[in-house]
Amino acid sequence: MAILPSQITGVSMETFEELIKQCIQHFERQRFSTGRINMYRFLWLKKLMPYMIKESVPYYDASVGEKFLRTIVTGDIISRYQDDIIRSVNFLNEFQETGTISSHHFKPLERELSGPIGLAMEQFLLHLGALRRTQKTVSEYRRALYRLFIYLESKQIQCLQAISETHIVTFLSTSTNNKALIISSIRFFLQYLHKEHLLENDLSLVFDGYKYSRSEKLPSVYSKSEVLQIEASIQRSDATGKRNYAMMLLATRLGLRASDIAHLSFSNIDWEESTITLCQYKTGNDIKLPLLTAVGEALIDYLKYGRKNSESDKVFLFTIAPFSPMTKSSVSNMFCRIIEASKVDVRGRRHGAHAMRHSLACRFLENKESMPVISEALGHRSTETTMSYLRIDLESLNQCALHVPPVSSSFYEQKGGVFYE
What is the C-alpha to C-alpha distance for residues 87 and 23, in angstroms, rounded to an integer?
Answer: 13
> Could you tell me the sign of the dihedral formed by the alpha carbons of 257, 261, 266, 270, in that order?
positive
Q: What's phi and psi for 270, nearest 5 deg?
A: -110, 100
Per-residue pLDDT band at 223 (split at 50, 70, 90): confident
Alpha carbon dihedral 152, 157, 161, 164, in 10-degree steps, equals -50
Sequence-distant (≥ 6) Cβ neighbours of residue 210 within 8 angstroms: 172, 183
The neighbour count for residue 226, using CB atoms within 10 Å, is 17
Under 8 Å between Cβ of 362 and 389: yes
The answer to whether residue 3 scores a pLDDT higher than 50 is no
**Residue 279: beta bridge partners?**
286
Residue at 64: amino acid letter: V
Report helix, strand and coil shares of the chain as percent, to nearest 5: 60, 5, 35
What is the C-alpha to C-alpha distance for residues 27 and 25, in angstroms, rounded to an integer?
Answer: 5
**Collapsed DSSP state (helix, strand, coil) of residue 227:** helix
Q: State the pairing for strand pair 59-60/11-12.
A: antiparallel
Q: Is 366 exposed, middle or buried (0-12, 13-18, 19+ CB in 10 A)?
A: middle
| pLDDT confidence of residue 415 | 65
Q: Which letter, b or e, does each residue of 389-400 get, where b requires 16 or more Cβ atoms within 10 Å of its Cβ?
A: beebbeeeeeee
Question: Where along the chain do its domains lie?
Answer: 5-98, 115-206, 224-399
What is the C-alpha to C-alpha distance for residues 215 and 222, in angstroms, rounded to an integer?
Answer: 21
The answer to whether residue 270 scores a pLDDT higher than 70 is yes
pLDDT, tens digit (0-9, with 9 covering 90-100), for 334-380: 888 888 888 888 877 777 777 888 777 777 766 666 555 556 556 55
The DSSP line for 312-324 is --BS-B-SSTT-P
Range with lowest mean pLDDT among 105-109, 112-116, 236-240, 306-310: 105-109
pLDDT, tens digit (0-9, with 9 covering 90-100), for 367-404: 666 555 556 556 555 555 545 555 555 555 455 555 66
Q: Which CATH number fits domain 115-206: 3.40.50.2300, 1.20.140.10, 1.10.150.130, 3.40.50.1980?
A: 1.10.150.130
Q: What's phi and psi for 288, nearest 5 deg?
A: -125, 125
Closest CA to 118 of 142, 138, 134: 142
pLDDT, tens digit (0-9, with 9 covering 90-100), for 141-165: 888 888 888 888 888 888 888 888 8
The DSSP line for 371-410 is HHHHHHHHT-SSHHHHGGGGGG-HHHHHHHPPP-----HH
Query: Which position has the higher pLDDT, 354 or 302?
Result: 302
**What rounded mean pLDDT belongs to the chain?**
78
| pLDDT confidence of residue 164 | 86
What is the C-alpha to C-alpha distance for residues 316 and 302, in angstroms, rounded to an integer?
Answer: 9
The neighbour count for residue 184, using CB atoms within 10 Å, is 15
Residues 213-222 have a mean pLDDT of 63
Query: Which position has the higher pLDDT, 419 or 184?
Result: 184
Residue at 174: amino acid letter: T
Under 8 Å between Cβ of 369 and 389: no
pLDDT, tens digit (0-9, with 9 covering 90-100), for 90-132: 888 888 888 887 754 444 555 678 788 889 888 988 988 888 8
Residue at 238: amino acid letter: D
| pLDDT confidence of residue 267 | 92
Under 8 Å between Cβ of 317 and 324: yes
What is the C-alpha to C-alpha distance for residues 103 and 315, in angstroms, rounded to an integer?
Answer: 17
Q: Which of the 8 DSSP states describes residue 45?
A: I
Under 8 Å between Cβ of 219 and 391: yes
Closest CA to 332 of 278, 261, 279, 276: 261
What is the C-alpha to C-alpha distance for residues 146 and 181, in angstroms, rounded to an integer?
Answer: 13
| pLDDT confidence of residue 322 | 72
Q: How far is CA 384 from CA 353, 372, 380, in A?
A: 22, 10, 9
| pLDDT confidence of residue 302 | 92
May I ask the CATH class of domain 224-399?
Answer: mainly alpha
Q: State the pairing for strand pair 275-279/11-12.
A: unpaired
> Could you tell me the sign of the dihedral formed by the alpha carbons of 120, 125, 128, 132, in that order?
negative
Query: Which position has the higher pLDDT, 38 or 398?
Result: 38
Residues 273-291 have a mean pLDDT of 84
Percent of residues, the chain, with pLDDT higher than 90: 6
DSSP strands (E only) in 53-175: 59-60
